Chain A
Amino acid sequence: MTEPRQGIASTASTGAPRRWLGSTGKYVVLLLFALLSLYPLLLIVSTSLKDPLDVTANPFTLFSSFNPINFYDAWTLGGFGGYFWNTVVITGITVAGVVALSSLAGYGLARFQFPGNNLIFFVFILGLMIPFFSVMIPLFYELRDLGLLGTKAAVILPAIAGASGFGVPLGVFLMRSFYMDLPEDLADAARVDGCNEFQAFWRVMLPLSAPGVAVLAVLVFFQTWNNFVLALVYLQGSDNQMLATGLYLFAGGRSGEYELLAAASLIMTVPVLIFFLIFQRFFIKGLTTGALKG
């Protein structure tokens, strides 16, 4: 380490410890990047409210006309109403599935001692390191042979299994460490009071793990709602498209209709934003505990 003293002359004159950067400079930097982060969203909101003529005249002038009928058109003519419900169903079942299976398995690994416990945990952890592309190809043929290709299950089952990132591997990892931190005496006490293991889990341990469940559910929600590649590969040509693939197909097909595309983008984005603003705490906690534990 070198001496962090060279700058002494500059602050000695001001007397008080100097503020970080000049105050104005600081806010210029912060605002500039905020603008860059917000601009794409502003562009979508503005375009989704334009009338088609205005779009051809000034496609990217912000908020130059007001034509909210675009949302109705995207929902019905564009078919995004259907994609929306498909996405809701797929996301809902995936979140419920990951939460249920991971809490059960995480609890099982944390509470019961049996030969192979650590091996099974390691096998789950392996799933955190396998990128989607290294299961993509055989999974296509497997789903086809099971007759699932093009059905909602073709996205749900791989998503729960963790093919696209946050699934059972992450869930088991999170929930197991959560249950390990809970005192085991609680479950034992429940057993003494006459519960069997399932009742002890369901009535005592699961409610106590609610914060962990919330973090997991929020992470899986974002991942599944925004998922593109699972739907792209396993729903190709089916009418079970999700919002992400619906948008992609629409953008490729009728590239002229920016106002509908923007409205459809907003239909996909608004639930995410609402969810984010409500559950921000859990989402950020999930991301930071994952990273901070290192």
Chain B
Amino acid sequence: MQAGMEGGATRVNRPKRGFVERHLYVPPLRRQQLYYAIVFISPALALYLVFMLYPFLTTIYLSLTNWNGATANKDFVGLSNYARMFGDGAVLQAFWNNAVWVLVGTASPVIIGLFLAIILWSGARGSLFFRTVYFLPFVLPLVVVAIVWQWIYHPIFGPLNRFLDSIGLEQISRGWLGEPGTALYAVLISAIPGAVGFVVVVLFAALQSVDESQVEASMLDGASWFQRAWYIIIPQIAPVITMVTSITLIGGFAVFDNVFVMTGGGPGHASEVLATYTYSSAFQQNQAGYGSALAMLITVLSLVSAVVFVRLRERQRND
């Protein structure tokens, strides 16, 4: 993810110190440094520990209890919350929906965004205008996006159904958000323009470093548009494509706002995702313990998928 951590290794002027020195004896000059370090770092660290790390560790603990969030008793129940998830139809549905969201909601913006970025980069008039317009949906508040798309999908007045009716496809028009078969995909589509905007802007920036002489050479050699994109351009920005893909992917497991506002996970659990189910378990069904276990599932899934994806890419690159 946020790479550049290895920046620490490039630091100069740092004397090598032995184990004893490092841990037991702090010389006076260092002691002063330590004093300043504490003053500079502790405000941020304190806030972070109290409102982030402590609740995170508490979630791990709560996921092993049957706490209902109201009474004082928290019985330790081991892994039974986790075991219960496998038999919970809503969790399986939510997991499946998240998988769809991660696959479709990552692949389509990356492909569309890559395509648009290459077109813009290869010299289109009004490139700045298009980039700004594409980026707008990414900047818009998700709640606003969700509310507008709710109108667009409105069964009777919605522009989408009106449009379908007007071109003679009235048998397709339906209550997009109200039917189990389409609810999830309808929400997913509303999230794609924003993701595309992000991909276009980042990839367009990356394309600035592509070696143009290679592209020109391939043009003289008569490579087609797709050959040029596939063999010359994409390999040069592949690391950034990986980055953008994994950022979008990680977000996919924690998706909440769009679904919560547009369908609330319904109808039934048709568009339920893990985050909306976590929310309703904890705060509507008073199952803080079970909700915590679901939250851990989200955390583990997003971390694991990001790591697996980056590893796969690295292996592919080394081959």
Residues on A lying within 8 angstroms of B by beta carbon are: 1-2, 4-12, 17-21, 26-27, 29-30, 33-34, 36-38, 40-41, 43-44, 47, 59-60, 101-102, 104-105, 107-109, 112-115, 117-118, 120-121, 123-142, 157-158, 160-163, 167-173, 177, 180, 184, 197, 201, 222, 225-226, 228-229, 232-233, 243-244, 247-248, 251, 258, 261, 265, 268-269, 272-273, 276, 280, 283-284, 287-288, 290-294
How far does the alpha carbon of A135 sit from the alpha carbon of B50 in the complex, in Å? 11
Residues of A with C-beta under 8 A to B232: 4
Residues on B lying within 8 angstroms of A by beta carbon are: 1-5, 7-8, 10-11, 13-14, 22-23, 26, 30, 33-34, 36-37, 39-41, 43-45, 47-48, 50-56, 58-59, 62, 69, 112, 115-116, 118-120, 122-124, 126, 130, 132-137, 139-145, 147-152, 154, 157-159, 162, 193, 196-198, 201-202, 205-206, 216, 218-225, 227-228, 231-232, 239-240, 242-244, 247, 253-254, 256-257, 260-261, 274-275, 278-279, 282-283, 288, 291-292, 294-296, 298-299, 302-303
How far does the alpha carbon of A100 sit from the alpha carbon of B206 in the complex, in Å? 31
Given contacts A20-B123, A20-B225, A161-B50, contact A248 B143 (CB under 8 A): yes
Residues of A with C-beta under 8 A to B23: 115
Given contacts A112-B40, A288-B201, contact A29 B116 (CB under 8 A): yes
Beyond contacts A161-B51, A170-B2, A180-B11: 19 other A-B pairs, Cβ-Cβ < 8 A, are A4-B227, A6-B224, A17-B220, A20-B118, A30-B130, A38-B136, A105-B44, A107-B40, A125-B2, A133-B279, A135-B56, A140-B282, A168-B44, A225-B141, A232-B260, A247-B147, A273-B139, A284-B201, A291-B206
Given contacts A173-B2, A291-B202, contact A33 B299 (CB under 8 A): no
Q: Which 3 A-B pairs have the closest CB atoms?
A: A108-B40, A8-B222, A161-B51
B45 pairs with A105, CB closer than 8 A: yes
A272 pairs with B37, CB closer than 8 A: no
**Which of B13, B53, B54, B151 contacts A184 (CB under 8 A)?**
B13
How far does the alpha carbon of A26 sit from the alpha carbon of B124 in the complex, in Å? 8
A161 pairs with B47, CB closer than 8 A: yes
A108 pairs with B239, CB closer than 8 A: no
Given contacts A43-B159, A261-B147, contact A248 B48 (CB under 8 A): no
Most chain B beta-carbon contacts within 10 A, residue among A105, A173, A247: A105
What is the chain B residue whose CB lies nearest that of A229?
B256
A197 pairs with B36, CB closer than 8 A: yes
Residues of B with C-beta under 8 A to A251: 147, 150, 261
Most chain B beta-carbon contacts within 10 A, residue among A41, A104, A105, A137: A137
How far does the alpha carbon of A112 sit from the alpha carbon of B298 in the complex, in Å? 37
**Which of A128, A140, A172 contacts B44 (CB under 8 A)?**
A172
A136 pairs with B282, CB closer than 8 A: yes
A287 pairs with B202, CB closer than 8 A: yes
Residues of B with C-beta under 8 A to A20: 118-119, 122-123, 225
**Which of B39, B48, B148, B298 contacts A134 (CB under 8 A)?**
B298
**Which of B149, B162, B261 contacts A248 (CB under 8 A)?**
B261
A4 pairs with B51, CB closer than 8 A: no
B51 pairs with A244, CB closer than 8 A: no
